[in-house]
Structure 1
């Protein structure tokens, strides 16, 4: 137990540090794509900008609407951030003593639970804009969790395991690309929708929702929501690398893909996003999952 905790704490600490510098990388990348400089005043090339941003957010006054549920508006962001940190318990490192034999199932449970923290964050403020944003993200999460679960089942059947660490060590699956190529685009779409990133960032549509479910949050509470979002982006990039290539080597290119899409793709229409989930992604993932199941059982 003690060994497991001592191995988990560095993972959590390093994930938070990586998350802070991901914000700087995102701002620099967007500035490059938009032909501007971006953060460059904090020390050399703006390297301490994430620290300055963190200090500013942590010291801002936490404003709470008078008619809101005070306890809920405090607990919901903390629950969201805690769940985002909990996901890093499943980090697929081969040097860890404890392997999680049902890691994918635990991941599905954590991602499904996180949707509740968002709806509670929007409902607790007693603001119609925050509630509408929370309802939209709830509908989006429920819709895209179905093809996400089917896709994870698809990859677990190919790898013959639910353990992410075991998947990461199965680099000998040379035939895998011939099986997963049709599902790669599907998984990348689901990944963007699950992390609420462009072009599926409807929960934070500034033009129509004034920042969505987090509009009434400030200070530490707002920081917890944002940190949870970027931690999810990091972990989904690592998960995508493990699922698609059975290694951690493609994590950084997938993060760059997140940033490239945000800087180039317009926001999708909400009704088209829901149509894509229920009419395209779910039938596609279900068909491929059934097909690969039949093929593997026939061969075995």
Structure 2
């Protein structure tokens, strides 16, 4: 027979379990958000994934979970995979080139080379060319150092299959990613030269800092004007930028900041925020320009977002 004392004990145990579940989840929240964001490229979708992860976590019986971090990553990965597959139709209908949503990060994040490379616009664009499962395997193993057995449990494959997927994904990414990591100081120097030329409408200054094979990708989402496809080569990119400034007859200014762990610019037109420019630099020149103008993707540049790989 269950008496009042027993009921009180059950409530106490339930309350303790709920408190513990909350504490564990919050302790890993930044990591889980980073996992979801790197898989999805969208902070809003990553937040939705975290909400779904929380709902499943509180039902899991936290005190019965041996490796809480691994279990939370597993739930987050499964929910991210579901979301990634459903996002495919949305991206196919997207107007113009698609870029990840830029996130404002702490200034010292730029000194973390591993974080900056993992979350760079350049790499995240490459990840868009992988299948959902390939992306999950690559992200978990390469960025978050998750073992193959645990990845297998998260994606519903055998460890042997995961190893093969990881090998294919790594080869695919390595063939398209920058040849080597560039320090934050090198990136800042190239970005500063670009900023000066941009603000002055200096065609030659742009040509001096842009690599011959530079690619400009601009994302307006059908809301703001942007190039309908990537612009390739220093001459075309420089003329596109200078010509656009001249036609608009506006005043441009670039505010140095840190986006996704790398030096970047918040671009203002006549004092109003117009977009975010991130770059990829190699050998002191810019090889990639990523310009996000879509207002729906600029909601996270006013407040720092804590990102972590560990």
* Length-normalised TM-score, structure 2: 0.29
Structure with the greater alpha carbon radius of gyration: 2
Structure with the larger helix share: 1
Greater length-normalized contact order (CA 8 Å, ≥ 6 residues apart) = 1
* Length-normalised TM-score, structure 1: 0.30
